[in-house]
Chains A and B, each alone.
Chain A
Amino acid sequence: MNRKRKFLVGSALIVAAVAALIWTAVRETSAYFMTVDEWAADPGAHSSDALRLAGRVSQGSVQWNPRTLDLAFVLQPIPKGEGGTHEARRDGDVLPASTAQARLPVEFNGIVPDMFADGRDVIVEGRVVDGVFRARSLLTTCPSKYEAERQKPAEAGGATGETKT
Chain B
Amino acid sequence: MSDIGRLAIVLGFIVAIWGIVASVAGALRRDDDLVASGSHAAYAFSALVGIAVAALLYLLLTHDFNVEYVSAYSSSTLPVWYTIAALWGGMKGSLLWWTFILAVCNAIVQFQNRDKNRDAMPWVTAVLLMVGAFFLSLLVFITNPFERLSFTPAEGSDLNPLLQNYWMTIHPPSLYIGFVTTTVPFAFAIAALATGKLGDTWIRTTRRWAIFSWFFLTLGNLFGAAWAYVVLGWGGYWAWDPVENAAFMPWLTATAFLHSVTIQEKKDMLKVWNMVLVILTFALTIFGTFLTRSGVISSVHSFTQSGLGPFFMGFLLAMLALSLGLLVWRLPLLKSRNELESVFSREAAFLLNNLALVGIAFTVFWGTVFPVISEWVRGVKITVGPPFFNRVNAPLALALVFLMGVGPVIAWRRASWQSLQRSFLWPVLVGLSVGALALAQAGGNYYAVVAFSFAAFALTTVWTEFWRGMRVRQAMLGEKPWTALSRLIGKNRRRYGGYIVHVGTAMVFVGIVASSVFKVEVQKGLEPGGTVSIGRYTLRYDGVRTESDAHVDKTLAQIAVSRDGEPIATLEPEKRFYKKPKQPTTEVAIWSTLGADLYVVLGSYDPPTKSAVIQVFVNPLISWMWIGGVVMALGTAVCMWPSWSEQMSTVAAGVPSGTRTAS
Residue ranges of A at the interface with B (Cβ–Cβ < 8 Å): 3-4, 7, 10-11, 14-15, 18, 21-22, 25-26, 28-34, 52, 66-69, 84-86, 88, 110-112, 114-115, 125, 139, 141-143, 145-155, 157, 160, 162-165
Q: B246 to nearest A CB, angstroms? A: 12
Chain B contacts of A163 at CB under 8 A?
385-387
B239: contacting residue among A31, A84, A164, CB under 8 A: A164
* Interface status of B232 (Cβ within 8 A of chain A): yes
Report whether B392 and A18 are in contact in the complex, using a CB–CB cutoff of 8 Å.
yes
Task: Tell me, in angstroms, the Cα distance from A12 to B517 when the chains sit together.
Answer: 32
Decide yes or no: A147 and B585 within 8 Å by CB, A111-B604, A153-B239 being known contacts.
no
Task: Tell me, in angstroms, the Cα distance from A142 to B343 when the chains sit together.
Answer: 53
Q: Which single residue of chain B is at the shortest CB-CB distance from A157? A: B523
**A interface secondary structure, majority:** mixed
Report whether B384 and A147 are in contact in the complex, using a CB–CB cutoff of 8 Å.
no
Decide yes or no: A162 and B387 within 8 Å by CB, A30-B382, A33-B381, A34-B380 being known contacts.
yes
Task: Tell me, in angstroms, the Cα distance from A114 to B396 when the chains sit together.
Answer: 36
Report whether B298 and A31 are in contact in the complex, using a CB–CB cutoff of 8 Å.
no
A152: contacting residue among B90, B232, B305, CB under 8 A: B232
A147: contacting residue among B90, B298, B300, B390, CB under 8 A: B90
Task: Tell me, in angstroms, the Cα distance from A3 to B72 when the chains sit together.
Answer: 62
Decide yes or no: A66 and B613 within 8 Å by CB, A18-B396, A145-B157 being known contacts.
yes
Task: Tell me, in angstroms, the Cα distance from A86 to B112 when the chains sit together.
Answer: 47
Decide yes or no: A84 and B305 within 8 Å by CB, A3-B340, A4-B340, A67-B525 being known contacts.
yes
Chain B contacts of A141 at CB under 8 A?
302
Report whether A150 and B301 are in contact in the complex, using a CB–CB cutoff of 8 Å.
yes
Task: List 10 contacting pairs A-B, 8 Å CB cutoff, sorted by A.
Answer: A14-B359, A26-B370, A26-B388, A30-B370, A30-B382, A33-B298, A146-B160, A148-B89, A152-B233, A164-B234
Task: Tell me, in angstroms, the Cα distance from A86 to B302 when the chains sit together.
Answer: 8
Chain A contacts of B72 at CB under 8 A?
145
**B interface secondary structure, majority:** mixed
Decide yes or no: A69 and B525 within 8 Å by CB, A4-B339, A112-B604, A164-B236 being known contacts.
yes
Task: Tell me, in angstroms, the Cα distance from A4 to B348 when the chains sit together.
Answer: 12
Decide yes or no: A114 and B585 within 8 Å by CB, A29-B385, A30-B384, A147-B91 being known contacts.
yes
Report whether A149 and B301 are in contact in the complex, using a CB–CB cutoff of 8 Å.
yes
Task: Tell me, in angstroms, the Cα distance from A112 to B606 when the chains sit together.
Answer: 13
Among B568-596, those with CB < 8 Å from A are 575, 583-586
Task: Tell me, in angstroms, the Cα distance from A10 to B351 when the chains sit together.
Answer: 11
Report whether B387 and A143 are in contact in the complex, using a CB–CB cutoff of 8 Å.
no
By Cβ-Cβ distance, the 10 closest A-B pairs, closest first, are: A111-B603, A33-B381, A85-B295, A29-B388, A29-B387, A25-B391, A67-B525, A114-B584, A150-B301, A18-B359
Among B418-444, those with CB < 8 Å from A are none
**Interface 1/0 per residue, B137-150 and A, CB below 8 Å:** 00000000000000
Chain A contacts of B517 at CB under 8 A?
165
Report whether B300 and A151 are in contact in the complex, using a CB–CB cutoff of 8 Å.
yes
Chain A contacts of B355 at CB under 8 A?
11, 14-15
Q: A32 to nearest B CB, angstroms? A: 6
Q: Which single residue of chain A is at the shortest CB-CB distance from B577? A: A114
A29: contacting residue among B351, B384, B575, CB under 8 A: B384
Task: Tell me, in angstroms, the Cα distance from A135 to B452 when the chains sit together.
Answer: 35
Task: Tell me, in angstroms, the Cα distance from A127 to B125 when the chains sit together.
Answer: 55
Q: A108 to nearest B CB, angstroms? A: 13
Report whether A154 and B382 are in contact in the complex, using a CB–CB cutoff of 8 Å.
no
Report whether A22 and B363 are in contact in the complex, using a CB–CB cutoff of 8 Å.
yes
Chain B contacts of A160 at CB under 8 A?
519, 521
* Interface status of B205 (Cβ within 8 A of chain A): no
Chain A contacts of B348 at CB under 8 A?
7
Task: Tell me, in angstroms, the Cα distance from A7 to B354 when the chains sit together.
Answer: 14
Task: Tell me, in angstroms, the Cα distance from A21 to B383 when the chains sit together.
Answer: 17
Decide yes or no: A21 and B395 within 8 Å by CB, A69-B525, A111-B603 being known contacts.
yes
Report whether B386 and A165 are in contact in the complex, using a CB–CB cutoff of 8 Å.
yes
Report whether B525 and A33 are in contact in the complex, using a CB–CB cutoff of 8 Å.
no
Chain B contacts of A165 at CB under 8 A?
386-387, 390, 516-517
* Interface status of B659 (Cβ within 8 A of chain A): no
* Interface status of B371 (Cβ within 8 A of chain A): yes
Chain B contacts of A32 at CB under 8 A?
380-383
* Interface status of B645 (Cβ within 8 A of chain A): no
Q: B622 to nearest A CB, angstroms? A: 13
Report whether B385 and A31 are in contact in the complex, using a CB–CB cutoff of 8 Å.
yes
Q: B37 to nearest A CB, angstroms? A: 38
* Interface status of B611 (Cβ within 8 A of chain A): yes
Report whether B603 and A139 are in contact in the complex, using a CB–CB cutoff of 8 Å.
no
Task: Tell me, in angstroms, the Cα distance from A145 to B272 when the chains sit together.
Answer: 45
* Interface status of B326 (Cβ within 8 A of chain A): no
Task: Tell me, in angstroms, the Cα distance from A124 to B384 when the chains sit together.
Answer: 14
Q: Which single residue of chain A is at the shortest CB-CB distance from B241? A: A150
Report whether A148 and B160 are in contact in the complex, using a CB–CB cutoff of 8 Å.
yes
Task: Tell me, in angstroms, the Cα distance from A164 to B519 when the chains sit together.
Answer: 10
Further contacts, 6 of them, CB under 8 A, given A114-B583, A115-B584 = A3-B341, A11-B355, A139-B300, A152-B232, A165-B386, A165-B516
Report whether B391 and A33 are in contact in the complex, using a CB–CB cutoff of 8 Å.
no
Report whether A142 and B382 are in contact in the complex, using a CB–CB cutoff of 8 Å.
no
Task: Tell me, in angstroms, the Cα distance from A85 to B381 when the chains sit together.
Answer: 14
Residue among A22, A52, A147 facing the most chain B CB atoms (10 A cut-off): A147
Task: Tell me, in angstroms, the Cα distance from A136 to B90 when the chains sit together.
Answer: 32
* Interface status of B303 (Cβ within 8 A of chain A): yes
Report whether A26 and B298 are in contact in the complex, using a CB–CB cutoff of 8 Å.
no
Q: Which single residue of chain A is at the shortest CB-CB distance from B388? A: A29
* Interface status of B163 (Cβ within 8 A of chain A): yes
Residue among A69, A86, A143, A162 facing the most chain B CB atoms (10 A cut-off): A69
Chain A contacts of B233 at CB under 8 A?
152
* Interface status of B366 (Cβ within 8 A of chain A): yes
Residue among A4, A14, A149 facing the most chain B CB atoms (10 A cut-off): A149
* Interface status of B615 (Cβ within 8 A of chain A): yes
Chain A contacts of B380 at CB under 8 A?
32, 34
Chain B contacts of A34 at CB under 8 A?
380-381
Q: A86 to nearest B CB, angstroms? A: 5
Report whether A143 and B525 are in contact in the complex, using a CB–CB cutoff of 8 Å.
no
* Interface status of B304 (Cβ within 8 A of chain A): yes
Among B464-495, those with CB < 8 Å from A are none
Chain A contacts of B301 at CB under 8 A?
148-150
Chain A contacts of B604 at CB under 8 A?
66, 111-112
Decide yes or no: A145 and B304 within 8 Å by CB, A29-B391, A111-B604 being known contacts.
yes
Q: Which single residue of chain B is at the shortest CB-CB distance from A155? A: B234
Q: B179 to nearest A CB, angstroms? A: 15
Chain A contacts of B463 at CB under 8 A?
none
Report whether A25 and B384 are in contact in the complex, using a CB–CB cutoff of 8 Å.
yes
Task: Tell me, in angstroms, the Cα distance from A25 to B366 when the chains sit together.
Answer: 12
